[in-house]
């Protein structure tokens, strides 16, 4: 079992002391908790915790949504000392559910905190030894770093940069799917940034590799932490391709399919809930990533303003 203390969840406990009256004060307080073991131990006594088992959070099902219960440290220490996984689920009236399965049925705040928690737990599990000395590393109380006792090297959690790009030719947008996607779902192109690449170079390369098109212009949109596969920073961009060069050449090692979709097709798909049914002809309906995913934001932006100003790549 693993515990994750959602530090941001403890705000209510400190409002009466006016410690978190401003963003700057709150940020500095959270920074202190990351570095000061004694301060973090003290804060944990009134903190709120999520419970994980093999990177799966404990969740409760409520109609069409998952709820992420929070527990006090004393409560969880009592339960962890005496109960195994099945008894734990019964006692807490929940189940340990894979985050990928549950993510889009969580509220935004819980989804963000659970994603952060899982990414940290996965990172700690994979960095238990120093890459130079081979000796076991030691986690600080807050879990914000690991230190090698033999040579004092400090290891900090890292995120992998990933570009996610919605390509347009002016009147249509290009969407693609991988074989691992749910049936019928199409999304924007995405790929890891290579060492030495700029954001612009990564976008141009990914589009060329995956669909055989050359990007002419691009525009940054937003970013999002994404917990899969190992904690990524999704960097979302809009891009246009050169006029007259829109013939798709799908890289089947990367994608299962890719196609151009009209404004009306995409706008209609945005208005629908995510389908889970198969049509009578055996096909699955065309649908888009859920609202929580940054790909959904990119697509929604394009539908609302398809001719927005895009900068030269």
Arithmetic mean of pLDDT, 279-293: 81
Q: How far apart are CA 85 and CA 64, in angstroms?
A: 24
* pLDDT tens per residue across span 158-191: 999 999 999 999 899 999 999 999 899 999 999 9
Arithmetic mean of pLDDT, 221-241: 94
pTM: 0.84
- β-bridge mates for residue 96, sequence order: 58
pLDDT for 15 beyond 50: no
Those residues with Cβ within 8 angstroms of residue 307's Cβ, 6 or more apart along the chain or in another chain: 170
Reference 240, options 199, 207, 197; nearest CA is: 207
Q: For the stretch 237-276, what's the b/e string if a residue is b when 16 or more beta carbons lie within 10 angstroms of its beta carbon?
A: bbbbbeeeebebeeeeeebeebebbeeeebbebeeeeebe
pLDDT for 7 beyond 90: no
> Which of 25-29, 41-45, 60-64, 304-308 shows the lowest per-residue confidence on average (mean pLDDT)?
304-308
Contact (Cβ atoms closer than 8 angstroms) between residue 133 and residue 224: no
Task: For residue 3, name the pLDDT band (cuts at 50, 70, 90).
Answer: low
Rounded alpha-carbon distances, angstroms, from residue 149 to 107, 123, 128, 142, 187: 40, 19, 12, 17, 45
Q: How far apart are CA 3 and CA 139, in angstroms?
A: 14
- β-bridge mates for residue 4, sequence order: 50
Arithmetic mean of pLDDT, 135-145: 96
Rounded alpha-carbon distances, angstroms, from residue 93 to 56, 75, 110, 224, 287: 15, 14, 18, 31, 33
Bridging pattern class, strands 56-62 and 95-96: antiparallel
Q: How far apart are CA 15 and CA 27, in angstroms?
A: 14
pLDDT at 21 (0 to 100): 62
The DSSP-derived string for 129-173 is B-TTT-PBPEE-TTSS-EE-TTT--EE----EEEEEEEEE-SSEE
């Amino acid at each position: 079992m693993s515990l994750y203390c959602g530090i941001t969840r403890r705000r209510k406990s400190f409002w009466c002391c006016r410690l978190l009256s401003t963003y700057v004060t709150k940020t500095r307080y959270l920074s202190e908790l990351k570095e000061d073991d004694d301060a973090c131990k003290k804060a944990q006594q009134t903190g709120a915790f999520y419970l994980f088992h093999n990177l799966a959070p404990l969740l409760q099902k409520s109609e069409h949504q998952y709820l992420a219960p929070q527990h006090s440290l004393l409560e969880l220490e009592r339960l962890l000392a005496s109960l195994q996984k099945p008894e734990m689920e019964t006692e807490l009236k929940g189940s340990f559910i894979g985050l990928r399965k549950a993510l889009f049925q969580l509220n935004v705040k819980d989804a963000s905190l659970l994603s952060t928690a899982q990414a940290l737990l996965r990172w700690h599990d994979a960095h238990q030894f120093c890459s130079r000395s081979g000796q076991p590393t030691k986690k600080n109380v807050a879990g914000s770093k690991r230190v090698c006792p033999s040579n004092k090297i400090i290891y900090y959690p890292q995120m992998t940069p990933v570009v996610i790009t919605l390509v347009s030719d002016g009147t249509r947008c290009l969407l693609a799917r991988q074989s691992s996607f749910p049936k019928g779902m199409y999304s924007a192109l995405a790929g890891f940034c290579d060492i030495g690449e700029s954001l612009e170079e990564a976008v141009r390369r990914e589009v060329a590799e995956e669909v055989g098109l050359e990007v002419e212009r691009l525009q940054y949109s937003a970013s999002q932490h994404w917990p899969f596969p190992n904690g990524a920073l999704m960097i979302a961009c809009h891009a246009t391709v050169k006029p007259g060069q829109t013939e798709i050449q799908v890289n089947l090692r990367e994608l299962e399919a890719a196609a151009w979709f009209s404004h009306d097709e995409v706008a209609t798909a945005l208005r629908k809930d995510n389908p889970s049914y198969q049509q009578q002809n055996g096909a699955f309906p065309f649908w888009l990533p859920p609202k929580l995913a940054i790909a959904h934001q990119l697509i929604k932006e394009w539908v609302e303003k398809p001719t927005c100003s895009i900068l030269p790549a």
